[in-house]
Amino acid sequence: MSDLASQTQMHKEALEAPERVAEFLAARRDNLMPVVQAIRDFGPRFVVTCARGSSDHSATYAKYLVEKKLGLPVVSHAPSMSSVFEQPLNFDGALFVAISQSGGSPDLIKSAEMAGAGGAMTIAFVNATGSKLAEVCDHVVPLMAGPETSIAATKSYIASLTAVASLVAELAEDLALKEALLHLPAHLKQAAGLDWSAAKQALIDASNFYVVARGLGLGIAQETALKFKETSGLHAEAFSAAEVRHGPMALVKHGFPILMYAPSNAASLSFLEAAEQAVEAGASVLSVGADIKGAKAVLPTVDDVHPALAPITMIQSFYPMVNALSIERGYDPDKPPQLRKVTETL
């Protein structure tokens, strides 16, 4: 890694994630358990998520984990339905989960207010606990990521994934996942030091490519594609390994780059089928978590991580790599063009 890459705020904040996660886990008795009990008392029939940007990618992760572990349907709320169209909705029996780093976007605030008025229990997963979003929600889960000044979110995203996993582990009374969370800070520290330079070299001259995952990994695929766009001027699109075969594969030709996050669960078989099809089409496949035959590179991962937490360690490895790629391509990852840290939308 170049000296310049190691000096960016994005790089420094990404490397803070293991420590911030450890602090969150140490405080969960006070910050998380009262929310867990409130949810149990409420007894939600379904879950509604509401978020933008990286936080919405956390919501994707939440959808798969909640449905798998708790058996509750999870849907994504369109904030404009509340903030622009002012359409009241029936949220009776809903657990409404708003996820935000700043807690300052008017559309999320309005959505939480209308959800509460419509019968939902509202919870804010938010880094800025003094924000308006935190104020209007029934309960708050502090992400405890600390100040994040780089426009590209890193540690706050990892903190939000950790908070979601912790909440679900407690609600599901999943002893294995609760135990695995205790080891997550150490696994994140190891992940941050893994060498993903093969991906950087493969993508220096790229212009368009796919990021593919499935299930719990889809959220980090979305986050990966976003980070390539905002830090490195790369047009990347995220797809489920199932969805990519319903049309997008038609664009894959010789040398077309595809970064693939392999799942370590029942979705593995269909994922490998998509990977094999991509290789056969001539794609330059960068594999994470699986030794795919014909792949251009297999990027290292942390061993013995709980399947539900593996995506969190993978995105931790990704952030230093994309930060370095941004520098190599002549960008400043701390100052993406036309973007600012807090985006206020209606």
Reply yes or no on whether the pLDDT at 225 is more than 70.
Answer: yes
* 185 and 204 in a common domain: no
* 174 and 35 in a common domain: yes
* 229 and 295 in a common domain: yes
* Domain end (from 158, 189, 220): 189
| pLDDT tens, residue by residue, 81-137 | 877 878 889 999 999 999 999 888 899 999 999 999 999 999 999 998 999 999 999
Q: What's the whole-number average pLDDT of the chain?
A: 91
Helix (H) or strand (E) holding 3: helix 3-6
Q: Residue 271: which CATH number?
A: 3.40.50.10490
* 22 and 113 in a common domain: yes
* 57 and 85 in a common domain: yes
Reply yes or no on whether the pLDDT at 269 is more than 90.
Answer: no
Q: What is the pLDDT of residue 228?
A: 95
Q: What is the pLDDT of residue 111?
A: 95
| SS3 at position 336 | coil
| pLDDT tens, residue by residue, 188-213 | 999 999 999 999 999 999 988 889 99
* 208 and 183 in a common domain: no
CB 168 within 8 A of CB 29: no
* 206 and 114 in a common domain: no
Q: What is the pLDDT of residue 2?
A: 64
* Domain end (from 128, 158, 189): 189
pLDDT higher for 35 or 292? 35
Q: What is the pLDDT of residue 346?
A: 56
pLDDT higher for 331 or 340? 331
CB 37 within 8 A of CB 215: no
* 245 and 153 in a common domain: no
| DSSP state at residue 25 | H
Instruction: Return the minimum-mean-pLDDT range out of 74-83, 102-111, 260-269, 279-288.
Output: 260-269
When divided into structural domains, the chain yields a total of 2
| pLDDT tens, residue by residue, 16-64 | 999 999 999 999 999 999 999 999 999 999 999 999 999 999 999 999 9
Residue indicated by tokens 């309960």? 139
**Contacts (Cβ under 8 Å, ≥6 apart) of 211:** 221, 222, 224, 225, 228, 236, 237, 238, 239, 258, 259, 260, 261
* Domain end (from 143, 161, 189): 189
Domain range for 295 is 197-299
* 203 and 175 in a common domain: no
* 150 and 32 in a common domain: yes
Q: Where are the alpha helices (DSSP H) in 237-305?
A: 268-280
Confidence of residue 341 (pLDDT cuts 50, 70, 90): very low
Per DSSP (E only), the strands in 22-146 are 46-50, 74-76, 94-100, 121-126, 139-142
